[in-house]
Structure 1
């Protein structure tokens, strides 16, 4: 036994030596290739900025409207997406218009790859348009100017598609989401369904211990720093500061993981990394007026949902004016726009679902469990699932009765009923929800709301003081040359520029990398030093995450202590018993119109024909399920194609659905009692109408329980049994007519 031990030790030592030699060669080669990736990133950065209109769209485009030529010029433009080879577009389908966020980066993230918002919409047959922007704003342009420009863009898209089956579906990503919502409240007639992805609308909302970004404005003393930064930029705000704010939220990824992933998998990760960095490093500027509005009115003031924003002509921005369905897509894994900020505006505006309905609004939301902020609009998996389902079922969303719904997705399987009625690999359902479902996600206490209101008041005071005592001096000292140097020396730009030039160092890096690629010798996957390398990486990530968590916990504690101080609240005149953002009341004018509309609907309960009766009966029975399945709508659509009557447009069908829905809500018994009088005398037509109801209901689920009981009642009203056979009462008007 003892004589064999030295032999084993020698073998182990030899193996370790071989593994070490193999790892060191591999590590050195990876280091050389990593430096070359950084060099290529710098060159790519310069080339991207040198483009006239830099973007990262994965598609060809045609310029339709240049916002620089409008009466109030803006650096935005409308382009048509050229469908790639093999993609067929149906010009009668509603167009999609994707609006990208101007939050420090350049445009194109909505069409970043084939599996994207634009990609899945085109595969569903929709014409697609994109609203992007140039790196430099036009002199004096404001957020309001951009909103009015986007209205011009929508008018143009509508004019280009006069035969489309609906108004354009508009997708607003991140900050573009709130911009789209503002425009939709001012010009509701221009919009079809609105999809807002990762878009903050309720800026104070969040959960303690999870959403620290909302404390930043208060801890910096408010928006005076925004004004100061814009003054140092000679009237422009460098978007790189916004990007750096995002990076500061995840130091382990910023300082280590992003680079380590490239280094550790440099043979396969380089192209993906460079593709993303082309967008991440494409920083754009905003005018001082634009960023000040965003910070004061939205992020610190929280005035959007509260209805406290007015345009220059005195129009009030009231999100309750929106008439199109609103789809809110958010994620629990998003630390920039958590679900509370994406959905809290609903709680800010409405007391219950009935009030949502009273404004004729349809709101659909879906909450992803894990995906991060960027993944909401760049993840291929999200595009193939959520965005693909939204695109395929946009007509279902458009005709939903007013109310609050959650979109859920179920994968098709061998047990799926009527799978041919669902497009794609998933089945989308819109399930009825109440405001309590949104409250269950968590939110602020009244005391926390007063803390944020105090921070907003402090911000106003500090900004006023800065403008009066400091701003004149800063503007006087800031020359154009100084602003240019501050711009160039931003830390994010320096890291791109460091290896971007043509000099002996970069030439040596390129030559070395070329030789390495010719003689590449990667270590085997079971090399123990690779496992040790990954263990060290995980330790670094854990340390940086712990530091971030401690910093965020301290920031939250500090914010709550400072702005929860009764002395400070009293000093800035915050009432300790007040509700900082009370729900806006329904205006007397709107209430008068609503009452008139209710009276009109009640008076029309006894009018209509077979179509109205089918929709009325279908809604009455379907209400028991509390959800609408895409298979049911497809079954109804197919039934509509066989309708011998005059063809209804989608808008006309939507109007009919809404009217019948409200009639059932207002006068359910009277609405049902009117059905036999409205049905045609022809028994075959009545049977066919009832068959549509039965087939649509059975398309997605078995008819049972209360649904079956209601269906029996409707069968009696239609003069048919549950099998769709005629069963006419001898004393009924229909029997006598037969």
Structure 2
């Protein structure tokens, strides 16, 4: 008779046979369905590339302007987004213009589903326009040509909305972000608020141990490889290389997780995967001159924030020329554009917040904790929260006094004060910040700046050597046929081409998948083999992540060692004792204009009426909070702080509010002391203005602390009699 141990041992295989058979059936079916998804991915890839203007917009669009018809033709288009049925658009609201990034993929990522930048803007009632592009650039097209074309597009949008309450709000995603900023510095009069999402503007910035992509230019010896790649493409740069570089940043996702997620959830995940892959696989080309400008002037040269980029007519691109509010949206989870690269241009340009104000600039930033680079544009959760709040509260952003702010979001709840004044599910608040708040995120030490400057010099030398000795031979060898063959054989493109129906095995996979769907038998969630499968997947991801981390540490050490060499720095002309000189030069003309403007402002202290006094009092009391809440702005919209029959437009209010804010900064005591003399003698009108101030201040919560003290001072000023204020009215006031 067998022992107890023998009985258990003998019964174990029988006990596992059922779950094993269930898992094997499920795994086999999932394998067939997975390869069918790969077949569909490849088929839609070919269909997408066959389109004249391939895009992934989820909305109908009407062509407004074709960049190919301009004096300097470009492959860009301006289209109007047709609102879906049931969406109400207010023609008086400022239009939104979404500019998509040309970073290797086709256009449409800003509106490829309902919960997107375009979707939330239309939901807020704004007319929407989209700037996209075709797969191939026009011959001779340059980055400057594109900028001038986009300026023409914005002129057209402005002309189509003459009655709008402001200039267009322009959204630039990723690579489009720096392009929009360059244009706004050249043509500031065309812009309303600017939103740059995941856009790198300070390319050397970062933190040691993170953000290894910024070392790539130095590790590759500079940008000569970009020139070589453009020459191998017959004068065109294949966007597939940009996609390839992006995927190399996360090998666990590229080599395993993305595909495994489809395989493990093949019954539900396929539609979402195919939707994204339709955009991800829509590779487009750039002219070799375009990509060379990008890597030389921006990525490796880091010349944008330093003001060392010039247009063909000699105009310097100085970001301090931008007059519209700038909203910077970035994330700690973004390994392509970390917060330092998105924000440190502010440190490059300004000494302190007062200098930001001296240029009349308003900068608002928000930092997400976890979302990755692509999630900034495609995540429905981000669209419903950050993008929805930016769209709904664009007037709040436009009315902010000059300075630096961080946008924070608090979920609306039953405890929220005045919830009817909140536009969505989140309460948006803009809190005052200083440059120290940005520095606290980390950045480069001076010796690191010298390393990057050394890498830029080495890049210039290597590029010159390539152009002198190798480029003529490469161009002679690469015929159009060779360039096309190399493009088709690109590893990223081959991953799509390999599973089309031209593959003799794929039609059989399609038929097998149909039969599997009819007999689908998924394994139960607690199947031990399914649990083991998940554990193995986690171990694979951990191993690939460990490999990536080791590679990144090694890359950083190599970069720091090579470009930190005093001998190399001396050889390329980097002076280790020289101060940091990347900041644009100070302008004597700006100083003169600033002094003139200050004198003009001071002369208006004793000018104005009830409107000016109400705004002075509101700003004086409200700024004690250090933040501006969307509920206060919503309350402000409902109030008429003026005589019957007249109403301030948004532009008029913005101008008046900025003037009163600057007066309070320059001459706070004199500005407040002038209030009684400027107010009307009618006590009812005075109290109406004071009630408006209280209403706005109480919209976002209880009036207490310093705010209450300041409000009492304002109330005393509003109730104070001037020479023409009758004694009988003073008695009523008491």
Q: Aligned-pair distance for 1:593?
A: 1.1
Residue 733 (1) aligns with residue 728 (2):
no
CA distance in 1, matches of 2:529, 2:47: 38
Q: CA deviation at 1:640?
A: 3.1
Conserved? CA contact 1:101–1:107, under 8 Å:
yes
Instruction: Provide the rounded CA distance (Å) in 2 between the counterparts of 1:408 and 1:693.
Output: 24
Alignment correspondent of 1:272: 272
Q: Which runs of 5+ in 1 are unaligned?
A: 720-727
Check if 1:625 corresponds to 2:625: yes
Deviations 1:454-508 (A, max 9, x none): 0000000000010011101110111111001000000011110111133531111
C-alpha separation in 2, matches of 1:185 and 1:238: 29
- 1:152-301 equivalent positions in 2, closer than 5 A: 152-301=152-301
CA distance in 1, matches of 2:660, 2:495: 61
User: 2:684 maps to what in 1?
Assistant: 684
- The CA distance in 1 between the partners of 2:533 and 2:642, in whole Å, is 66
Deviations 1:242-281 (A, max 9, x none): 0000000000100000000101111111111111000000
2:578 aligned partner: 578
Aligned pairs (5 A) from 1:106-185: 106-185=106-185
Residue 605 of structure 1 aligns to a residue in which SS?
A: coil
The CA RMSD over aligned residues, in Å, is 1.4
- The correspondence of residues 197-596 of structure 1 with structure 2, limited to 5 A, is 197-596=197-596
Looking at structure 2, the residues matched to 378 and 233 of structure 1 have their Cα atoms a distance apart, in angstroms, of 30
Q: Distance in 1 between matches of 2:381 and 2:583?
A: 38
SS of equivalent to 1:89:
coil
Assess if the C-alpha contact under 8 Å between 1:453 and 1:580 holds in 2.
no
How far off its partner does 1:4 sit? 6.6
Aligned-partner Cα distance in 1 for 2:433–2:263:
47
Aligned 8 A contact 2:641 2:689 in 1? no
CA drift at 1:582: 3.6
- The residue number in structure 1 matching 2:657 is 657
Q: What residue is the counterpart of 1:707 in the other structure?
A: 707
**Could you tell me how far apart the structure 2 residues matched to 1:5 and 1:493 are?**
57
Query: What do residues 535-554 of structure 1 show as CA deviations (whole Å, max 9, x unaligned)?
Result: 11111111111110000000
SS in 1 for 2:221: coil
Deviates more, 1:169-178 or 1:15-24: 15-24
- Structure 1 residue aligned with 2:732: none
The 2-side partners of 1:8 and 1:524 are apart by 24
Is 2:38 the counterpart of 1:47?
A: no
Q: Secondary structure at the match of 2:525?
A: coil
**Distance (Å, rounded) in 2 between the aligned partners of 1:207 and 1:193:** 29
The Cα offsets for residues 354-392 of structure 1, whole Å up to 9 and x where unpaired, read as 000000000000000000000001000000000000000
What does residue 698 of structure 1 align with? Answer: 698
* TM-score for both structures, normalised by structure 1: 0.97
Q: State the 1:320 CA deviation.
A: 0.1
Deviations 1:602-656 (Å, cap 9, x if unpaired)? Answer: 0011100100000001001111110000000111110038862422211111000
Give the SS at the match of 1:63.
Answer: strand
Q: Provide the C-alpha distance between the structure 1 equivalents of 2:321 and 2:139, rounded to a whole number of angstroms.
A: 31
Of 636-645 and 340-349, more deviation after overlay is shown by 636-645
Alignment of 1:11-50 (within 5 A): 11-50=11-50
Q: Distance in 2 between matches of 1:138 and 1:299?
A: 24
Q: Is the 8 A contact 1:404 1:432 kept in 2?
A: yes
- Mapped partners of 2:506, 2:454: distance in 1: 52
Distance, in Å, in 1 between the alignment partners of 2:74 and 2:211 is 34
- Structure 2 distance, partners of 1:35, 1:674, is 77
Tell me if the contact between 1:676 and 1:718 (Cα under 8 Å) persists in the aligned partners: yes
CA contact (8 A) 1:681 1:737 kept: no
Equivalent residue number for residue 725 of structure 1: none
Separation (CA, whole Å) in 1 of partners of 2:28 and 2:158:
58
The residue that corresponds to 1:722 in the other structure is none
Aligned CA distance change for structure 1 residues 5 and 72 (closer, same or farther; 3 Å): same
Give, in whole Å, the separation in 2 of the partners of 1:586 and 1:95: 35
Q: Is the 8 A contact 2:93 2:164 kept in 1?
A: yes
Give the Cα separation in 2 of the matches to 1:119 and 1:359.
33
Q: Where in structure 2 are there 5+ consecutive unaligned residues?
A: 730-734
Residues 28-107 of structure 1 mapped to structure 2, 5 A cutoff: 28-107=28-107
Range with greater deviation from structure 2 (521-530 or 641-650)? 641-650
Most deviating of 644-653 and 625-634: 644-653
Tell me, what secondary structure is at the counterpart of 2:310?
Answer: coil
Matches of 2:727 and 2:133 in 1, distance apart?
Answer: 69
What CA distance in whole angstroms lies between the structure 2 residues aligned with 1:641 and 1:376?
Answer: 39
Equivalents in 1 of 2:625, 2:584: separation in Å?
A: 32
Q: Hey, what's the Cα distance between the residues in 2 that align with 1:634 and 1:503?
A: 60
Q: Per-residue CA shift, 1:18-74, capped at 9, x if unaligned?
A: 111111111111111111111111100000000010000000000000000000000
Look up the SS of the partner of 2:638 in the other structure.
Answer: helix
Give the direction of change, closer, same or farther, for the CA distance of 1:10–1:621 in structure 2 (3 Å limit): same
Query: SS at the partner of 1:504?
Result: coil
How far apart, CA to CA, are the structure 2 residues paired with 1:735 and 1:110?
61
Shift of 1:288: 0.7
Q: Partners in 2 of 1:95 and 1:273 — Cα distance?
A: 32
Paired residues, what number? 729
Give the 3 Å change call, closer, same or farther, for CA 716–642 of structure 1 in structure 2: closer
Deviations 1:276-333 (A, max 9, x none): 0000000000001100000000000000000000000111100000000000000000
Pairwise CA distance, 1:2: 7.6
Question: Does the 8 Å CA contact 1:363/1:403 hold for their aligned counterparts?
Answer: yes
Does structure 1 conserve the Cα–Cα contact (< 8 Å) formed by 2:48 and 2:54? yes
CA–CA distance in 1 between the matches of 2:513 and 2:587? 69
Measure how far apart 1:594 and its partner are. 1.0
Deviation, 1:580, is 4.3
Contact persistence 1:348–1:581 (CA under 8 A): no
1:702 Cα offset (Å): 1.3
TM-score of the pair, normalised by structure 2: 0.98
